[in-house]
Amino acid sequence: MALAVALQLGHAGFRAAVPARHGANPGLTVAGSRRPARRSRGRLPAGATVGARRRGGRRPRVSPRIPARLRAHPERLALLPDFTRTAAATGVPSELLEALAWQESGWQDNVVSRDGAVGVGQLLPVTVSFTNGLLKQSLDPAHPKENIRLAGRYLSYLLGRAGGNEALAVAAYGQGLASVQRSGIHPGTRQYVADVLALRDRFAA
């Protein structure tokens, strides 16, 4: 379904309420401040290939179109295998999860929004609690790998509620499913969805 048509569906595309807005890109702060996250001075490990995933000891290349800022931060690139594993475990397209997390936090684990959403996937405590219930685990969103697992499982849930419609699932992730159900997709959310889906193409191998 085309993006424009998908977004017009609004709350009609969903059937059940889940936690309210988990926290999205606007108003991101680091450790409670409005300063940008600290920059890494590290270099790529010896023999590492920029923009590649580890698989069986090899690092096949991924899309050369990934954001330049990601290439500049090897500590963030190191999270690629965690996105890949989470995508495989949840059935979420890896490039969609990667794009959404990049839009939310720039793959930074120390980012906190004004609403209290934390980490790589920018998750609110209510969303963490809900998703841990789905997983029947107690993952800590302060740990990047566990935050990615939580974000992936939550996105998988939203994709299920959206009938696989990525635009609607991303809208619910950014705005909150309950809000989308109640009042439809907000104008700002439409831009958020467009940005994530554009990034999705950049992360695709």
Q: What is the DSSP string of 170-198?
A: HHHHHH-HHHHHHH---HHHHHHHHHHHH
Find tokens 């439809």 and name the residue: 184
Query: How far is it, in rounded angstroms, from Cα 50 to Cα 9?
Result: 39
Report pLDDT for 65.
85
Q: Between 83 and 44, name the one with better pLDDT.
A: 83
| pLDDT at residue 196 is higher than 90 | yes
Q: What is the mean pLDDT of residues 115-128?
A: 95
pLDDT value at position 1? 47
The CATH number of 3-8+19-203 is: 1.10.530.10
Per-residue pLDDT at 192 exceeds 70: yes
pLDDT at 44 > cutoff 80: no
Domain range summary for the chain, segments of one domain joined by +: 3-8+19-203
pTM over 0.85: no
**CA separation for the pair 100, 102 (Å, rounded):** 5
More reliable by pLDDT, 38 or 1: 1
Burial of residue 161 (CB within 10 Å: 0-12, 13-18, 19+) is: buried
In terms of pLDDT, which residue wins out, 131 or 56? 131
| Average pLDDT over every residue of 154-173 | 96
Average pLDDT over residues 57-81: 80
